[in-house]
Structure formats: structure tokens, C-alpha cells
């Protein structure tokens, strides 16, 4: 593993250990994005994944990075080299992808921002291991085998740590977090779109506090 990659893996570990849940949010209004992020941070969830699924996603990421103290801003659904560059300029501290396409990985190697690539099989995990990755997204978690799958691969692949995302809920997050190879989970339930549109920041803060208190069984 190169020194550059080792440093990025350390940064990812710190981000994943910051709280048990990384909120996965979709927001299209910079003003609402700032208020939402402040509510999440106040509730105890500093790392936030802003998905690139809206027209204003990059702008929302940029204002969160620039205006929300204590936040670790990240970008999700990163699929291309161009998106990596835009997110890096916007102030992202980590990047998340649903998979691990070769061209994306090549672009990520040149970036100073660490990438959390998506995996769903042992072969994908091993290939990423050959590139120096030790911290990975398990996606789509529930559909790809869930808790039982991650438990099964912990013995043959003990060096990897995961952030399961996809179908994870408040009721099941603790089961994932109880696994030795899981550092955190990703979830959209902490800041649902309806609450963002309603500007229910107190409600989002309350959900964040509950999520921040989740511990493995």
C-alpha cells in the first residue's frame, strides 16, 4: 500500500468512527442543506453524505463544507472522474461510490480525497484490497446478504472494515454495528426528504440523536 493510499485509509477510518451512522441525504436547496447539516451535527452525526442526485447537489455540498462547523462533508453516488474533481473543489472530505469501476478507481488514486468504494462480493473486496483499500461500503447491504453475509466473510477477510448501506434502518442498524468488521452504517432515515422539505430541523436533530446513540447488540 502506498503512503498516499495509507493516509487516505486512515482518514476514512476516522470518518467512519466519528459516529455509528452516516446520514445519506438528498437535498436541492443550499439554504435547507445548511440548516439540515447543522441539525445533524448538533444531534451527534458529523459525517454527512450528500448524494449527487439533485441539480444543486454540488452547491449544497459546497455550502455545507463552508458554513457548517464540525461537519465532515462527503459526496455520494460518485460515478466518474469529473464528479471526483467537482466534489474535491466543493470541499468534500470523503467520497462514496456504489461500486468500484476501474476508471473511477484510477481517478480516485490521483485525488487527495479518500474514496469509500462499494462492494457486494468477496472477489470485489479482494480486488480492492490489492489496490490498498481496507475501508469499504457494502452495498446494497440488505439485498446483498445483510448481516449474515458480513459475518461470514469476517473470518477469511478480517482486514477489511465496512459501512453497510442500502436498506439499513434504525431497527436493524444495531445488528450491523455489533459485527467486528462494521465501523458504521449509512442510512437515509435520519434526514428523510419530507422532513427536509418541511424544514423540520428539530425533528431531524432528534432522529440524529437517536441514531448517534445506537450501539451494537
Active-site position among 8, 86, 93, 137: 137
Report CA Rg, the chain: 16
Query: 88 exposed, middle or buried (CB, 10 Å; 0-12, 13-18, 19+)?
Result: middle
Active-site position among 49, 62, 142, 205: 49
Question: Is residue 205 annotated as a catalytic residue, yes or no?
Answer: no
Within 8 A by CB and 6+ apart from 194, the residues are none
CA-to-CA separations, 118 to 17, 20, 93, 97, 146, in angstroms, rounded: 18, 18, 17, 6, 14
Question: Is residue 124 annotated as a catalytic residue, yes or no?
Answer: no
DSSP state of 141: T
Rounded to whole angstroms, the maximal C-alpha distance in the chain is 46
Q: In the sheet that 94-96 helps form, which strands lie side by side, from edge to edge?
A: 115-116, 94-96, 72-76, 47-51, 21-25, 185-187
**Ranges of H-type helices in the chain:** 3-16, 30-42, 57-67, 81-90, 102-109, 122-130, 146-153, 170-177, 193-197, 201-212
Residues annotated as part of the active site: 49, 137
Amino acid at each position: 500500500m502506498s503512503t498516499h493510499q495509507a493516509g487516505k485509509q486512515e482518514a476514512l477510518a476516522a470518518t467512519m468512527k466519528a459516529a455509528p451512522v452516516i446520514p445519506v441525504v438528498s437535498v436541492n436547496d443550499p439554504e435547507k442543506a445548511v440548516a439540515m447539516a447543522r441539525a445533524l451535527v448538533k444531534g451527534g452525526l458529523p459525517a454527512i453524505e450528500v448524494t449527487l442526485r439533485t441539480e444543486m447537489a454540488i452547491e449544497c455540498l459546497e455550502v455545507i463544507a463552508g458554513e457548517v462547523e464540525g461537519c465532515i462533508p462527503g459526496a455520494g453516488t460518485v460515478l466518474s472522474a469529473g464528479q471526483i474533481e467537482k466534489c474535491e473543489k466543493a470541499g468534500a472530505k470523503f467520497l462514496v461510490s456504489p461500486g468500484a469501476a476501474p476508471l473511477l478507481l484510477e481517478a480516485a488514486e490521483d485525488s487527495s480525497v479518500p474514496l469509500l468504494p462499494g462492494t457486494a462480493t468477496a472477489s470485489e473486496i479482494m480486488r480492492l484490497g490489492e489496490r490498498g483499500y481496507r475501508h469499504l461500503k457494502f452495498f446494497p447491504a440488505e439485498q446483498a446478504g445483510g448481516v449474515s453475509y458480513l459475518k461470514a466473510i469476517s473470518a477469511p477477510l478480517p482486514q477489511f472494515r465496512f459501512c453497510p448501506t442500502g436498506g439499513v434502518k434504525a431497527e436493524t442498524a444495531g445488528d450491523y454495528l455489533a459485527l467486528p468488521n462494521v465501523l458504521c452504517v449509512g442510512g437515509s432515515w435520519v434526514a428523510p426528504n419530507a422532513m427536509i422539505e418541511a424544514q423540520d430541523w428539530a425533528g431531524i436533530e432528534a432522529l440524529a440523536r437517536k441514531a448517534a446513540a445506537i450501539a451494537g447488540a
